[in-house]
Amino acid sequence: MAAAERNAGLARIKTAMIEKKMTQAELADAADCHEKTIQNLLHGRPVRDQTLFDVCMVLGLDFEEVKSIWSGQGAGRDEPGRPGAAKDIAPVYMGAYSRAAIDHYVGSYLTLRPSFSVEGAIVAYRTDITWDEDWPSLLFMESERADASYAHRGRLYIPASSMFIHLVSLTKGAMRMVVVSQIDRGGQMRGLITTLNKQKANFVPVSAPIVYQRRETFDGVAFGELPVGHPSHAEHAATLAEITSEGYARLIGR
């Protein structure tokens, strides 16, 4: 293998790190490997294919293309019409789920949770889940929120051995996590949201039941903060109550 070919592969990795403003330590953490392994990689030393794959996933690079350059076989090894592996499999640290295996999550959802500020009220908004081609994984995005400036955008983490999945958003060190059951036949995912809520001048941690209901259409759906007495309130309240009564989550020390 010529050094020039190895250097060409390294150049792509280093350029992607610069574009994403990632340090060696951050790349190691995101790729779920030791920082020394990343140092070896960046110095052109041999690493496992799995390591190279995970790095490519984090950096949004085509694994097959980088691997072919790295091994001196040139680009374009994929068969015509066959997508590269990097485009169809999420990074290992996100669950290494394939696009084909989670395609049923793609769609739009009515999202319900209790209000953090108005006693008894229920907040309703829309969440769309799509597949991100640039960073292979499921991406969620919120809309139709009364507090639009607090709408979240993040990614889905799906462990292979768990009945629950995670919707995580991370902005400048601030993390919000939603843990819900895998989607059922009725198109629902139920669990808990843990986030920060502004109360007066301060933000405080809060946790509450949350449900995602798959919808083909949102005609006639009321969004925003729905107070007690709203036509949709009783039905939504019953749905949220099922989260704890049917064992999808537990709230301790209330």
pLDDT of res. 80: 35
Structure tokens at 226: 């729905």
Using DSSP's 3-state secondary structure scheme, residue 213 falls into: strand
Assigned CATH for 3-87? 1.10.260.40
Backbone angles phi, psi at 252, to 5 degrees: -100, 140
The reported pLDDT for the residue numbered 96 is 85
Mean pLDDT in each 10-residue stretch from start to end of the chain (254 residues)?
Answer: 66 84 86 87 84 83 79 47 56 86 96 94 97 88 90 91 92 85 96 89 92 96 96 97 95 79
Q: Are 52 and 33 in contact (CB under 8 A)?
A: no
All CATH 2.40.128.120 domain ranges in the chain, comma separated = 103-245
pLDDT of residue 90: 86
pTM equals 0.69
- Per-residue pLDDT, 62: 78
Model pLDDT, residue 5: 62
Q: Provide the 10 A C-beta neighbour count for residue 44.
A: 13
In terms of CATH architecture, what is 103-245? Beta Barrel (2.40)
Residue 221: per-residue pLDDT: 96
Query: Between the CA of residue 58 and those of 27, 38, 136, 166, 240, what are the distances in Å?
Result: 7, 13, 9, 18, 35
